[in-house]
Amino acid sequence: EWITSLLLMKFLEEFCIAYQNNQTIYGISAKDIFNRVTIYLVPMVNPDGVTLLTDPSFKNTSAYQKCFSISQAYPDIPFPDGWKANINGVDLNLQFPAGWETAKKIKYKQGFTKPAPRDFVGASPLTEPESLAIYNFTCSHNFRLVIAYHTQGQEIYWNFQDICPFEGYDIGLKFAQISGYHLANVPYNSSFAGFKDWFLLNYNKPGFTIEAGIGKSPLPLSQFDQIYQDNIGILLLATII
C-alpha cells in the first residue's frame, strides 16, 4: 500500500511550493492554512515492508530471507507482492488496543495464528516498534482529527462499531463529496484493532481510514495521478473543517 506515501509527499511538496510563492492550493491560501493549523504527516509507517517490496537489493539481506521463510506457510499469498506486514510478520493495523482480542479471534479463525505476510495481530497490542511509535506520537499531541491512508477500494471508513463523534459523519460526508469516494462501514472481519478504531475509542474525535485507489494492492503507479486528484481535496479540507 506504499503508493499512499507518494500521495502524502506530493501533497507536502505542493503545499510548500504554494506557501513559498504565496499561492493557493486547491483554491485555498497555503499561508492562511500555515498560520492557523498544524499539520503532521507520517508518510510511511512500515518502511521495512515497503523496502521488501520495492528495493531489489533487499533480497540479499537476512531480513528478506526471514520474510521469505514466513511466507512459505502461506502459499496462497504471493511473495513479496502480497506482503503488507512489518518485517516481523505482524500486521501493524491490527496492533491497536481497540477490540484487539476480537481481531485476534477473527484472524486466528482465518488461519493467521503466527507471523504472516498479513493479518497476524501479534502476541499482544503494540508489540511492534512501528505501531508503538504511532501510538506514542498520537498520545503526545492533541489532534483535531486523524486520517489513516490505505489502499484500495475508494472508500472512507468513519466509525468504530457504534462509536463516532457527532461531527465525524458530517466530515466523512464532505470528504466523500469532494473525492467521489464512498462513505462506508468497515466489514466486520476488518473492523477491530486499527489505528482509526483506537483513536475513535480513546479520544472520541473524528478519525478516518481512507482506502485510496481501486484494484489489487500494490496498486500500479499509473493510478497515482488519479489518486492524488481524488485526495488533495480531502487533505486540504481536513485542515480547515
Active-site entry in 1, 128, 155, 211? 211
CA angle, 178 then 180 then 186, to 5°:
105
Closest to 135 in 3D by CA, of 236, 87, 203? 203
CA angle 21, 23, 26 (to 5 degrees): 140
3-state secondary structure of 155: strand
DSSP 212: E
Characterize the bridge pairing of strands 155-157 and 182-184. Answer: parallel
Q: Is 167 a catalytic residue?
A: no
- Relative orientation angle of helices 129-139 and 195-203, to the nearest 10 degrees: 30
Catalytic residues: 211
